[in-house]
Structure 1
Amino acid sequence: MSAILKLKFFLEKYGFHVSSRLADKLGMRVTSVRLFFIYISFVTAGLGFGVYLTLAFWIRLKDLIRAKRTSVFDL
């Protein structure tokens, strides 16, 4: 068996065990815990993209309001 498959089986065996142990401690279903992690990952990725778009809009608005003058005689 190749090393990649061994690594895959190891991660599947012990990686999914984290959510099941957390669900047991919290008294919840495992599927609810896994869905929570999936939703949180989408929210954090979307939040970063939203901040990026907001900053880009502010910079564009600032450039539109303040005219760029090349010399003193453009007043």
Structure 2
Amino acid sequence: MYLHVTGTVTATDGLAAHSEEEARVLRELKADGIVLSAFRRHDGPGAFLVVEADSLQDAEAELGRLPYVANGLLTFDYVEISRL
């Protein structure tokens, strides 16, 4: 299943402390084929991702490894999508 994931930053003051680890985990998720594309928002803090997972629960668990998510600094909204 493919998902369009919108990330919303809920607290900007803690981001810097986790930025290196966030980048490392995101690289792992890309290398593992879970995050297919990642884009930074220009209208404010946040991100858009295209994710491939077996289920919504699997996607939530994998993205939950991100330090921003694990520390309550980033939340995700998920929409199932399909290829054209």
Q: Do these two structures clear the TM 0.5 threshold for a shared fold by scoring above it?
A: no
Higher RCO (CA < 8 A, seq sep 6+): 2
The structure where strand makes up a greater share of residues is 2
Tell me the TM-score normalized by structure 2.
Answer: 0.23
Structure showing greater Rg: 1
Structure with bigger helix share is: 1
